[in-house]
Amino acid sequence: MKTKEKEITTINPTTGEPIETYAYMTQEEANTAVRNCHKAFLEWRHKSLKDRGERIQAVGNALKANKEELVQLMTKEMGKLLKQSEQEVDLCAGICDYTAQTGVEELIDEERELPDGGKGIITYSPIGVIYGIQPWNFPTYQVVRYAIANLMAGNGVLLKHAESVTGCAKLLEKIFKEAGLPEHLFTVLIISHDQSDAIIEHELVRGVTLTGSPDAGRIIGKKAGENLKKAVLELGSNDAYIVLEDANIDKAVKQCVTGRVYNNGETCVAAKRFIVVDKVFNEFKEAFVKRMQGVTYGDPTDPNTRLGPMAREDLRKDLHEQVTKSVEKGATILCGGEIPDGKGFFYPATVLADVTPGQPAYDDELFGPVASLIRAKDSEDAMRIANDSRYGLGGGIFSEDTDKAFELAQKYFDTGMVFINSFGLAQPNMPFGGVKNSGYGREHGGFGIKEFVNVKAVMALNG
């Protein structure tokens, strides 16, 4: 949260109290950081894949060694439950381990015989400085997700983190340095949006990756495109979770509630729209509402709390306006839906029914603990409703016939990821990304490591 033109003050969302103040860099300081990152890259790109992997492994070890400090700071700055902050650090350490182990295999040169019998080599060459613009909802994971892949690929990495988690950004910079990465190879920029545009335009910046809203994606994608620089955009969603008539309702309810309130409901790939076929709709609704009513909110450092505060006051205000507008257009509140009194930016677990097109609860992304409950006639109608969205990041299918669920997911679900009888976030060995207004490009699974490399063909022709 910005208090002056030239500084950032972070706010504790649990109390509403200030935490720390940080000065913006001058543009010359930011430009110097870009140049220093490029200089570090010029040496790093020639390190062997084995050497890079060892440094990546060291970053994972450093994350584990600094886990407690990082966990406490993430919860303080963003409001996530302590146990979920712990899970986030564990995931990030796992990403480092996976990348260190598989990076050599993904990036090793490939030799091919040419049609005329000549020799061809495909090499995955690093391209330079990659600029990441990251959100606040997963303060460590969002950084590790793009930074580790690009460091393994041989690139330099710049980070502009969300202002509200500036402390986490600086701590990560310290941890990466402790792990033995070369000076300036991973650098945090504390800059404004206008300064950020200048970084995208900088001649030494070769690629841009953003996680944010579709509106932000359009701006960053246009700016990168104008400067002929590749971009990877992950832009959120209103993921649909389909419950079919042969679903295990108890399992579906448990997973769907977890998928809606995990990380205080502030997850791009969260379960958001719950599309239930007519034959089991009432049974699911009764159990789902009851379970959502049992999700208590409070201090995220209390182990009994199931839902922490929203990350910022303006985010809570925006969410409540979406709920209010949905109700004005015919939606019904089954539980929650009111801003509580007292300190902190809390919002209760909320369920909306009678959700139809034209309501924010149907059309838009509700980035908080609000669930949209939608009735479908049958499985075909449920899939139609699921795909009736301008987004396409994730989704889910609940059915005891897993073969049928996999077939529906593979052939008909127009999203980048689908979970069967479960809710999930990310797996290091599976691609992460979406389609439509959810963006383009992939991270994880070996795909992210090749997003910002020069796939170079070297050929010796016969004749």
Q: How far is it, in rounded angstroms, from Cα 160 to Cα 152?
A: 20
* Residues 6 or more apart in contact with residue 260 via CB below 8 angstroms: 270, 271, 272, 274, 292, 349, 369, 370, 371
Active site residue 268: yes
Closest C-alpha to 249, from 279, 225, 220: 279
186, 157 contact by CB (below 8 A): yes
Closest C-alpha to 149, from 237, 232, 70: 232
347, 369 contact by CB (below 8 A): yes
- Whole-Å CA distances, 436 to 219, 374, 380, 397: 16, 22, 21, 20
Catalytic hit among 88, 234, 266, 365? 234
Helices 166-178 and 49-65: crossing angle, nearest 10°?
120
Active site residue 335: no
Closest C-alpha to 327, from 358, 292, 294, 300: 358
Q: Which helix (H) or strand (E) holds 118?
A: none
Catalytic hit among 37, 92, 96, 268? 268
Question: What are the respective helix, strand and coil percentages of the chain, to the nearest 5?
Answer: 45, 20, 35
DSSP, collapsed to helix, strand or coil, labels residue 276 as strand
Catalytic residue numbers read: 234, 268
